[in-house]
Amino acid sequence: MAEFWTGLPNPLRTPVRLDGPYSCGAPAVGYPLFSRPVFAFRSNPDIPVVVASRLVAMASATSSKALLAATAGLLSSSTSSLVHRRPLTCSASTYHPRLAPYPPDLVRWVRREGGFLHPELRIADGGTDGFGLVAAGHIPKGTRLVALPEHLPLRLRWSDGAIGGADRSGSPLFELVNRVPGNALRSLFGAVFWIDLEEHPSLRTPLLSGSSKTVINAPAAQSSDTVAHILDLLLTPHPPTFLSFLFCPSHHVAEELWAMRLGLKLLHERAKSGSFWWPYISNLPEGFNIPIFFSGEDVKNIQYAPVIHQVNKRCRFLLDFEKMAKCMLEDVDPEDHPFCGQDVTSSSLGWAMSAVSSRAFRLHGETLQDGSGDVPMLLPLIDMCNHSFHPNALIVQEENNPDTLVVSEMSIEKDAPITLNYGCLSNDLFLLDYGFVMSPNPYDHVELKYDAILLDAASVAMGAAASSFSSPNDWQKEILSQLNLLGDGALLKVNLGGLELVDGRLLAALRVVLAENMETARQCDVNTLKSLPGEAPLGLSTETAALRTVIALGVIALQHFPTKLMDDESILKGNISDSMKLAVQFRMHKKSMIIDLMRELTRSVKMLSKETLTAVQS
């Protein structure tokens, strides 16, 4: 059997290191499906120019023969006959066909098992975009589109008797799953979600729900406001979710690895012959155009350190987990082998993790061993829905009804794709887990590190008086500590962009350090200092200096990118690979977002200047 895998090892053979203003912590990483967004980039008008040195140096390490050898063979087989197993090999072609050349009819299988697909829906082949659900005719608002009975979703279920689609507790698969880091996950994945923490019983009910049904719009991370509200509940010695890693990178929690746990179950079902879920699995893509499968050069073409860091981290995990799995399963009896005697490699593990992270939903279900009530599931047919920030459908779980439903939120016209909202995610998450980026994306941002030397340079470059970010006064230190930007355990990652435009903690710090009046600053409420809209809390001159400093940070962030926006537009017009196209689109949106932010802040500075002039004339 020919083996074609070339994707996964490359980022590890040529790791990319970037230094600069971006935070050392990796972004949080996220959840389900695939999508076909429309990109609408435009040329850049002039932007403010500040003399700033290039802050980023890219470097590719030498290829490692050991890593190449570790991932060269996908199927080093074993003891079982092919009659009892299916191979775990993958293809790295640009267009990813389905696993089986002629897979079973997925719709027929779902209906035979008691599921429902609206007669006015069809599966459309989008070519390189994959398969999606499309309306074959007009569908009214409130129509039930899909219904899956409880036994159809593919999930992790453990039972001593191993019946009803469950796997045996204590089995080799059970032990392997529990070796995946981040075992104690909690539910923070969904536009509506559950929190089940023993020490906080008041949070055991849905944060948002109706009287008769619970709506789950997206298996994804929440807005920064929600995260900030519950973050303090999650900062334990062993943070239970990806959010803890985002805000506390020193813990090194593998926040995205919940997908690997369900991915092992997916590989188990893929390997064995006669799997109940084979009609579903055989229709999955043979490969995924996401960064862990990019070449080293295309990973470097992303040009954004937090994402590159995350790609390298994931690839390193897959290589390490491959070695650990081989050791664990070396002496397992053939009849107990979770993959029918086949050795799982980093490539097959990467395929499984990608299939889950790009398609799985976290829905409310039975309480898990870790105490959480949300259950990652692969949902046949439902996972073919596209993403939209303004979806025409939503997932519903009704009381006293175990079925998982998709219901239309609005009238849907013929040939329109069925869309769900995956969540208010940045393009970092969309790229890493789904293999697309959204433009425009109001939730996208760039991560920066709160660095005193950088801020001093930025404020001076924009004409501010000599600032003291490197040596704040005692009263300034007190407020910076309240903002958790100073002291032991300080969280130094700040954002530019998103709904806030400027990270509230960064804005408050700029205002405090640049303040002209100590008493006014000390008397001002911290929440007021963190708020961008409204009047200047510490005076017009301080506000102007703070916003100018943010503009300078934007210029420095742009200087970080080795290419300009016009260069990227020219590259996209050429004959390039899909992975390079995706990398270029990602960095283009980052640049466009920064430029739009600078324009908005420049308008604010002009308005402040007019107010200052009016005040002087008065």
**Helices vs. strands in the chain: H and E counts, helices first:** 20, 19
* Both structure tokens of 476: 């300034």
Contacts made by residues 272-280, CB under 8 angstroms, sequence distance 24+: 272/84, 272/85, 272/86, 272/340, 273/83, 273/84, 273/85, 273/86, 273/340, 276/165, 277/154, 278/86, 278/104, 279/103, 279/104, 279/105, 279/106, 279/109, 280/106, 280/109, 280/154, 280/378, 280/380
Q: Which residues pair with 133 in a beta bridge?
A: 123
pLDDT digits (tens, 9 = 90+) for 75-107: 233 333 233 455 554 433 345 688 888 899 999
Q: What is the pLDDT of residue 414?
A: 96
Q: DSSP string of 210-272?
A: -SSEEEE--SSPPPHHHHHHHHHHH-SSS--SHHHHHH-GGG---TTTHHHHHHHHHHHHHHB
CB 150 within 8 A of CB 403: yes
> Whole-model pTM?
0.74
pLDDT under 50: residue ranges of the chain: 1-84, 89-94, 164, 183-254, 367-371
Q: How far is CA 496 from CA 413, 448, 593, in A?
A: 38, 8, 9
Q: What is the pLDDT of residue 473?
A: 92
Q: What is the CATH class of 445-617?
A: alpha beta
In this structure, the number of other CB atoms found within 10 A of the CB of residue 52 comes to 18
Structural Rg of the chain based on CA atoms: 25
Cα angle at 554 between 553 and 557, to 5 degrees? Answer: 85
C-alpha 59, offset from chain centre: 25
Q: What is the pLDDT of residue 366?
A: 55
The CA distance from 136 to 138, in Å, is: 7
Nearest Cα to 442, choosing from 388, 504, 385? 388
* Both structure tokens of 66: 């050991």
The CA distance from 355 to 265, in Å, is: 12
* Both structure tokens of 469: 């970010």
CB 386 within 8 A of CB 182: no
Q: What is the pLDDT of residue 384?
A: 95
> Beta strand 158-159 with 167-168: parallel, antiparallel or unpaired?
parallel
Roughly how many angstroms between the first and final C-alpha of the chain, as a whole number? Answer: 84
Q: Where are the domains of the chain?
A: 445-617
Cα dihedral across residues 29, 500, 236, 366: positive or negative: negative
C-alpha 150, offset from chain centre: 27
The CA distance from 292 to 288, in Å, is: 9
What is the identity of the amino acid at 599?
Answer: R
Phi first, then psi: give them for residue 70, nearest 5 degrees. Answer: -65, -25
Q: What is the pLDDT of residue 467?
A: 67
SS3 325: helix
> Beta strand 445-449 with 493-497: parallel, antiparallel or unpaired?
antiparallel
Q: How far is CA 536 from CA 129, 525, 544, 546, in A?
A: 47, 13, 9, 10
* Both structure tokens of 208: 């948002």
